[in-house]
Amino acid sequence: MTALELSSAVAVVGTGTMGQGIAQVALVAGHPVRLYDAAPGRAEAAAEAIGARLDRLVEKGRLGAEDRAAAAGRLTAAESLAELASCGLVVEAVLEQLDVKQRLFQDLEDVVAEDCLLATNTSSLSVTAIAGALRAPGRFVGLHFFNPAPLLPLVEVVSGFATDETAATRAYETAKAWGKTPVRCADTPGFVVNRVARPFYAEALRLYEERVADPATIDAVLRECGGFKMGPFELTDLIGQDVNEAVTRSVWEAFSQDPKFTPSLAQRRLVESRRLGRKSGQGWYGYGDDAPRAEPHTAGPERPPESVTVHGDLASAEALLDLMREAGIRVGRTEGATNHPGSIELPSGVRLEQADGMSPDAAAEPTIHFDLALDYRAATRIALAPSGRVGEPALKEAVGLFQALGKKVSVIGPAPGMIVARTVWMLVDFAWDAVGREVADAEDVDTAMRLGVNYPLGPVAWGRRLTTYRVVESLDLLHDEYPTGRYAPSQALRREAVREEYS
C-alpha cells in the first residue's frame, strides 16, 4: 500500500493550532487541503493564518514564491462536512472528548467515500474507542503529530484494535511522503512518547517531594549532566502543568492505577492553585518581568586532592580516570580488582561510588555517590549525594575533585539512584516494557523518544550502553528501598538482560 496520491485532497477538521499545523504540512507536501470547523468563520481565519505562515517561509527562503502561490491555490475553507466528500484522507483535531470525536466520525462516515482514510490526532484518547462508533472501523487510524506540526518530525501512526493493516500502512507511507518520520505503534495509553516519558517527570517530582533537591537543581543536573535539552520542571511549565498532569493521570487511570504511573501530589497542588506555568505567569518558576531567576545549588570552590585510588570497575564512569590524569591528579589502581560497583577512594578514606540504586547511607563505609552522566567528559555539572557519616572535609575533597575536572557540583540529599541515574533506569524499563508488550519495536521506541521529546539518546540504546543487566540490578536495589512495585523491573527488561548477558 502506497502513500496517498498528491492529487487526492486532504481534509482537516478542527482549525486550532494543531489543525492548522497539520493542514500546512499536507499543503506544502502538495495536496489540495480543505479546512472545516464547526464554529462559523474559523476555517476562513485559519486559512488566512496558514497563508501568513507561508509568507514567512518565503521571507526566510524556505519556500519559493511560486510554490507559495500554488499552495494558496490548493487551500480552501469548507462551510460544511459535505464539501469533504471527495477527500482521500480526513484528519481530525477537535476537542479531546470521546463523544465529540465519535459523533464527528459518524457524520463523516455518511459523507466520504468507502476508501477514504479517517484519522484522529488524539494524544490521550483510545483510537479503538473512537473507531468503535463506526460501521467500518478498519479504515480508522491515529495520526498523532507533535506541536508545532510543521517543525517537529515525529508522527505516531497508531493502529486501533480494528484497524486494517492496509490503512495503517497507507497512513505511515503518507506521513513519510510528507517529510515526517513516522513510527508504528499499538493503541495503548500514551502511545509511545507519552507512555515512555512518564518517569522523566515522575522521578523529578518524587525527588522534589522527598526534598532531595529543589526544582532548579534537579533541572540543571538533568540538563548539564544527563544531556537532556530541558529539565522536567521547566518543561512542564512550558507544556502547562494542567496539561502534563492530566496526561499523567489519564495514563495512570488507564493502567488501573499501576504504581509505576502514580501522579504527583505536588503537581496536583500546583494545578489546583492555578500555577500552570508560562501561560499563567507562575509555575515551578516565575515568569513575570520582576520574577527572580531560580538558580541551582552549586558548591563553592574547594581544593582538589592530589591523588586518588580506584578500586574495581567504574563501568560507564571509566572516563573520569582520564579526566583526573589530565587535571594532574595522581590515579592509583588496585591490582586485579574486578568487583562491581567500583569506587574512587579519596585521601580521607571516603569512597566515591556511582549511583547504584541504594542509598549512600546503606553502605558499610562512609560513601559519597555521584550521578550518572550521558558523557562524563562533556558534562558540565555533577551531583554528589553524601551519606550521613561523611564529614565536611571529605565532602570538600569530593567537591574539589570534580571541580578540578571542570564540573560544577551540586550536593543533594542521600537519594537512592540520585537524579539522572534513577530517571534513566526508569526510562529504560518503560521502553522495554513497551517493546515487550508490542506497543512498538525497539527502534521505533528510540526514534520516538529522540524526535518526540528530544532525548539525547533513545532509552533502549541507553540501556544497552549501561548494559541492561546492570539496569536490572540497580532497579532491584531501588525496589528494595521503595517496595511498592514502582521500581520493580518489567519482565521484558529482565528477559532482555538475560539475553544480553548470555549472548
The residues annotated with a catalytic role in the active site are: 123, 144, 156, 194
**Residues β-bridged to residue 286:** 282
Rounded Cα–Cα distance for residues 11 and 422 (Å): 44
The torsion defined by the Cα of 438, 439, 442 and 445, in degrees rounded to 10, comes to 180
Helix, strand, coil share (%) of the chain residues, nearest 5: 45, 15, 40
What gap in Å lies between CA 89 and CA 23, rounded to an integer? Answer: 11
C-alpha angle 25/29/32, rounded to 5°? 90
In order of 19, 58, 67, 73, 276, the CA distances from 63 in angstroms are 21, 5, 7, 15, 36
Phi then psi for 86, rounded to 5 degrees?
A: -95, 5
Question: What cell does 430 get?
Answer: 518503560
Alpha-carbon gap, residue 248 to 356, rounded angstroms: 27
| DSSP notation for 59-79 | HTTSS-HHHHHHHHHHEEE-S
Single out the residue of 411, 412, 389 nearest to residue 402, CA to CA.
411
CA 145 to chain centre: 14
Task: Return the SS3 of 381.
Answer: strand
Nearest Cα neighbor of 257 from 429, 484, 424 is 484
Report d(CA 195, CA 206) in Å as an integer: 18
Q: Which stretches of 20-170 are assigned E, i.e. beta strand?
A: 33-36, 75-77, 89-92, 117-120, 140-145, 154-159
Helices (H), 112-197: 127-131, 165-177, 193-196
Angstrom distance (rounded) from CA 109 to CA 122: 18
What's the CA angle centered on 267, arms 263 and 272, to 5 degrees? 115
Q: Which residues of 150-171 are buried (b: 16+ CB within 10 A; e: fewer)?
A: bebbbbbbbbbebbbeebbbbb
Helix (H, G, I), strand (E, B) or coil at 28: helix
